[in-house]
Amino acid sequence: MSQEGTRRRKAPRLYNVVVVPAEEGGRTRTFRTSRLTIGALILLGFLASVAVTLAILVYTPLAMYVPIPNPGLEEKYGRQIVETQRRLTALAEDVVLLKDYNAQLRKALGEGGPRDTAAVRNLPRVREKTDEPPAAAQLQHGGGDEGLPLDEGTGSDAGIMRFASFSTATGPARASFPLLSPVQGFVTQGFDPSRNHFGLDIAGPRGTPVLAPGDGVVVFAGWTFDDGNLMIIAHGGGYLTVFKHNQSLLQHAFSGVKRGEPIALLGSSGNTSLGPHLHFEVWKNGAPQDPNDYLLVPARAQ
């Protein structure tokens, strides 16, 4: 009796698993397994579920919605947030800078203020042959009131970023002062704000190269009715130089120029030009300046 009681209390080592099909007439299957096998299957199932859960949290955005602390993800998204804020701040500063230069350009072009004397005085109908472009060229440039033309070589985005980075630079990108004289010739009219003449008229042979007086970025290069082929260069620090009545332009808007580099050819384009000459202006923070205060060799009217 004692031996039989011992055998009854001893757990069996093997188990029979019977699988009974739901439908009638199916064959019943029997599988024999051990306790160790059952434990191993349960452990494998648990490990597989843990692996799938970790993969979902690591490789899918679902982890953002699971309130589980993850230092790696927090550091990653923290860096992205800081970088995004930095870019937004830089873009906001560039927008403010571009708006400021846009206002200065409008003043330099004569909007909202007194025009240059060449634009307001009565001009004779019969004038010397000018360098006005054909109608197709005027349509291509779009006139002076259509905003800044785009740089055909680099694209507007790259040109704007170059202009913004140059305008905020404090190192070698700033203009070199004093400025070089943009063209060699005779000064026929000097700076005279009392007569609304905000620059120097320098007469010379048609086709004479016009040079950049300092390092800068072209912010306008196109055709205007009064001033003909017009170019404006930003030199940083709020300085702009203006070149009017050119025969042709050698640079595009938003292209960088170096001191002494040819930017245009002297001519007599525009409705207000009476002969081959360059009208040269210097502006600072939206106010016209006497170019002789910035030129290496001051030019005096003859």
Q: Domain total for the chain?
A: 2
- The pLDDT tens digits of the residues spanning 100-130 come to 767 766 666 666 555 555 544 444 433 445 5
Question: Contact 245/269 with Cβ under 8 angstroms?
Answer: yes
Residues 33 and 104 in one domain: no
Residues 242 and 176 in one domain: yes
Residues 101 and 162 in one domain: yes
* CA nearest neighbour of 280 among 269, 272, 292, 270: 292
Residues 192 and 47 in one domain: no
- The pLDDT tens digits of the residues spanning 7-30 come to 555 555 777 777 777 777 677 777
Tell if the pTM clears 0.85, that is, is over it.
Answer: no
Residues 203 and 92 in one domain: yes
Residues for the chain: how many in total? Answer: 302
> Between 294 and 148, whose confidence is greater?
294
Q: Is residue 8 part of a domain?
A: no
Residues 142 and 62 in one domain: no
Q: Is residue 182 part of a domain?
A: yes
Q: Is residue 77 part of a domain?
A: no
pLDDT at 146: 35
Three-state SS at 36: helix
C-alpha 108/C-alpha 111 separation (Å) is: 8
Please report, for the domain that includes residue 117, its CATH number. 2.70.70.10
Residues 63 and 92 in one domain: no
Q: Helix count (H) and strand count (E) of the chain?
A: 6, 12
Average model confidence (pLDDT) across the chain: 75
Residues 214 and 107 in one domain: yes
Q: Is residue 74 part of a domain?
A: no
Q: Domain containing 279: what range? A: 87-122+133-293
What residue spans of the chain are helical by DSSP H?
2-9, 35-59, 71-108, 117-120, 135-141, 156-167
Q: Is residue 73 part of a domain?
A: no
Q: Is residue 79 part of a domain?
A: no
Residues 110 and 159 in one domain: yes
C-alpha 163/C-alpha 156 separation (Å) is: 10
Residues 55 and 92 in one domain: no
Residues 63 and 150 in one domain: no
pLDDT at 149: 36
* 231 Rama sector, left if φ>0, alpha if ψ -120 to 50, beta otherwise: beta
Q: Is residue 151 part of a domain?
A: yes
Question: With 50 as the cut, is the pLDDT of residue 136 above it?
Answer: no
pLDDT at 30: 79
- The pLDDT tens digits of the residues spanning 249-260 come to 999 988 899 999
Structure tokens at 282: 């210097």
Give the confidence band of 72 by pLDDT, cuts at 50, 70, 90.
Answer: confident
Residues 203 and 252 in one domain: yes
Q: Is residue 166 part of a domain?
A: yes
Give the confidence band of 176 by pLDDT, cuts at 50, 70, 90.
Answer: low
Question: Contact 239/283 with Cβ under 8 angstroms?
Answer: yes
